[in-house]
């Protein structure tokens, strides 16, 4: 597997639901430290790496949290009720195996269950089971037993899935949204190591993106960069159930550069930023796609409106089945995304 593939596997297999990103943050720190002049963690938990230069301040943000659940109730029989932390589609959740992250670093395997289909009447079977009607079974005999295992109200829960290779250059895993962005960020820093760069690089692994873009807002406010790139994943239109008129971006054809997302309710990338990214790609023969979407937001949304405004766009890796435990992407797209970030940073002083 390629170097960036191994990096992605390390981050995908790590666990860090929004607000509980500590173990992922530690991995990020270890990868960043040899590549920048200083690394720090701010009050929100964002990991910030600074490589000093005498040119423009360029922020590159990649959120490191993943969607999951949190324990909201433990019933008398020891079964756990949960709330969603982020946006899993309910019908994906039932029957999954999960990890409950308990006190003292304990990790418990659990399974998500619900009322047996054999006991449902015909009308019940037609309805989608909601997360609020599911429960997690960790093998506890009762509530006290669950507590002895380390489970408490608020314990975070992540999917129990491992990274794997598919055919060609495709891979699958959990939390590729947005450990793919983290891998692109680290890989770009690796490519820039030892090379002359005029810009000051502000590499930020942000927290709590999936629950309100929170870490990007506070880190951008504190850093006040001259320009920024958010790196994330985006929905491709190259598999059944998605029309090209809904999304024309495809896997294997390069990272995407965002012109507009969420129908303009998110980022509307300033033309000088788009020009910078496109010309950087063209000069280094890096394939890319342009993206206009009507779906969700990224960290770029809040970065762009922080302080007096920070010019910003998004470099994304097309990823199938986003917000599921089996997300799929092309390592070639990931490599080209990292190369585009590095190329843009090298050329930033010519544009800003």
Indicate which CATH number applies to the domain containing 145.
2.40.30.40
Judge if 9 and 95 occupy the same domain: no
Residue 144 located in a structural domain: yes
In the chain, how many domains are there?
2
Whether 165 is in a domain gets the answer no
Q: What is the CATH number of the domain that holds 337?
A: 3.40.630.10
| Catalytic machinery residues | 209
pLDDT of residue 287: 98
| Whether residue 7 is found in the same domain as residue 122 | no
> Are 232 and 255 contained in the same domain?
yes
Q: How many CA atoms, within 13 angstroms, populate the side-chain half-sphere of residue 216?
A: 30
Considering the domain architecture, whether residues 179 and 259 belong to the same structural domain is answered as yes
Please check whether residue 75 lies inside any domain of the structure: yes
Q: 183 lies in which domain range?
A: 3-66+174-350
Based on the fold, state whether residues 139 and 212 are members of the same structural domain: no
Residue ending a domain, choose from 159, 185, 200: 159
CB count within 10 Å of CB 331 equals 21
Q: What is the per-residue pLDDT for 107?
A: 96
| Domain presence at residue 274 | yes
- 298 and 233 in a single domain? The answer is yes
Cα separation of 158 and 27, whole Å? 17
- Using CB atoms within 10 Å of the CB of residue 124, give its burial: 0 to 12 exposed, 13 to 18 middle, 19+ buried: exposed
Q: Which of 299, 307, 296, 88 is nearest to 214 (CA)?
A: 299
Q: What is the pLDDT, as a whole number, of residue 116?
A: 86
Q: Which residues of the chain have pLDDT under 70?
A: none
212 and 317 in a single domain? The answer is yes
CA distances from 94 to 13, 55, 99, 155, 342 (A): 21, 51, 14, 19, 41
155 and 73 fall within a common domain? yes
Would you say 29 and 41 are in contact if contact means Cβ atoms under 8 Å apart?
A: yes
DSSP letter at 344 equals: H
Specify whether the CB–CB gap between 51 and 237 falls below 8 A: no
- Within 10 Å of residue 133's Cβ, how many Cβ atoms? 13
Cα(247)–Cα(82) distance, integer angstroms: 33
Please check whether residues 155 and 237 belong to one and the same domain. Answer: no
């Amino acid at each position: 597997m390629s170097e960036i593939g191994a990096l992605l596997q390390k981050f995908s297999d790590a666990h860090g639901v929004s607000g509980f990103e500590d173990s992922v943050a530690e991995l990020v720190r270890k990868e960043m430290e040899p590549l920048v002049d200083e690394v720090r963690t701010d009050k929100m938990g964002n990991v910030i790496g600074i490589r000093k230069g005498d040119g423009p301040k360029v922020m590159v943000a990649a959120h490191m949290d993943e969607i999951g659940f949190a324990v909201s109730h433990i019933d008398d029989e020891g079964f756990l009720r949960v709330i969603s932390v982020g946006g899993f589609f309910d019908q994906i959740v039932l029957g999954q195996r999960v990890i409950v992250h308990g006190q003292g670093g304990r990790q418990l395997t659990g399974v998500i269950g619900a009322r047996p289909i054999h006991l449902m009447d015909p009308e019940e079977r037609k309805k989608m089971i909601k997360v609020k009607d599911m429960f997690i079974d960790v093998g506890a005999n009762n509530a006290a037993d669950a507590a002895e295992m380390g489970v408490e109200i608020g314990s975070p829960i992540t999917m129990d899935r491992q990274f794997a290779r598919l055919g060609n250059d495709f891979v699958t895993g959990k939390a590729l949204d947005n450990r793919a962005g983290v891998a692109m960020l680290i890989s770009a820093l690796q490519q820039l190591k030892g090379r002359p760069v005029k810009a000051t690089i502000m590499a930020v692994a942000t927290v709590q993106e999936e629950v309100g873009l929170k870490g990007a807002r506070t880190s951008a406010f504190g850093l006040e960069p001259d320009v920024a790139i958010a790196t994330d994943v985006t929905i491709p239109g190259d598999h059944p159930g998605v029309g090209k008129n809904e999304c024309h971006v495809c896997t294997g054809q390069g990272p995407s550069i965002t012109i507009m997302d969420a129908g303009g309710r998110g980022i509307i990338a300033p033309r000088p930023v788009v020009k910078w990214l496109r010309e950087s790609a063209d000069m280094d023969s890096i394939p890319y796609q342009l993206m206009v979407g009507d779906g969700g937001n990224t960290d770029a949304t809040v970065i762009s409106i922080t302080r007096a405004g920070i010019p910003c766009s998004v470099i994304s890796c097309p990823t199938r089945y986003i917000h599921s435990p089996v997300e799929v992407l092309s390592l070639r797209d990931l490599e080209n995304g990292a190369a585009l970030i590095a190329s843009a940073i090298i050329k930033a002083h010519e544009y800003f």
